[in-house]
Structure 1
């Protein structure tokens, strides 16, 4: 059984390693090893195994959107016309492939999707909404909430 299929298979060492690499994935493995009382080789094997199992799904830099001139962050509720599998799967593919969409969640509660979208300005945001929503026959409607301040982003998850 792979680790991905057995979420409870993470031991205390794996959890400690995950807590560290979430905060600083550039920390040398020898330093991680010192902190968790394992050899560097054991840490390397565990990280590789967690990557292979899909527990660690990537290593990304968290970029300040203002530093790259993306001044608009919108939280968008998307309402689909129906929830048929084909409609939902097509929407997932569209949103997954849109570079402006930073996060996408298929949700319950009357809303079909919640998206986090970043844009340079309102003109480019309008173009994005036209392409993703207004010109999409599967979208019944959408509602945009424009963020006034990015208080927290790219946070680590709590690993018990």
Structure 2
């Protein structure tokens, strides 16, 4: 379902991306609509797939996951069933925060949140070394999260 977004929809999305816990009445006040009108718009945005969820941003270090690792992966075969199996192993791993299938020199880019390098080493054995379709991988340990967001620009 394709949804045409007007300026109020974009403003609602921008506000919610920064504070999804904001009450619909407060949201309505900020965009100049009644609570019922905001509710209808949010329902339409959700039903059309524009809003796909609501989440709280958590500081990983406060939950014992202070190490962020970015991994580039090259596979042996891009045969669909084999590729889907590799993708599934990445998606099913709870430490994988983001998984991208990409074009170029690498086939996948993963962003992982781990306790320490020992946990990451164990994951490399499970996800990469034990998988015959993983040809090679490159690890980048994040030294500083200068910016980490999943917000989508609305303008």
Give 2:84's aligned residue: 89
**TM-score, normalised relative to structure 2:** 0.95
Cα displacement (A) at 1:155:
4.2
* Cα deviation, residue 71, structure 1: 2.3
Q: SS where residue 13 of structure 2 aligns?
A: helix
Provide the rounded CA distance (Å) in 2 between the counterparts of 1:103 and 1:155: 10
Within-5 A mapping of 1:8-157: 9-157=4-152
> Structure 1 CA distance, aligned partners of 2:102 and 2:120?
23
Structure 2: which 5+ residue stretches go unaligned?
none
Cα RMSD, aligned residues only: 1.2
- Runs of 4+ with deviation above 4 angstroms: none
State the distance in 2 between where 1:72 and 1:48 align: 37
Comparing 19-28 with 65-74, greater Cα deviation is found at 65-74
Q: Tell me the TM-score normalised to structure 1 length.
A: 0.92
Aligned pair count reads 155
- For residues 49 and 90 of structure 2, the distance between their equivalents in structure 1, rounded to whole angstroms, comes to 22
3-state secondary structure, aligned to 2:26: helix
SS in 1 for 2:88: helix
Farther off after superposition, 125-134 or 146-155: 146-155
The answer to which of 116-125 and 86-95 deviates more is: 86-95
Show structure 1 runs of 5+ residues with no match: none
Q: 1:108, CA displacement in angstroms?
A: 0.5
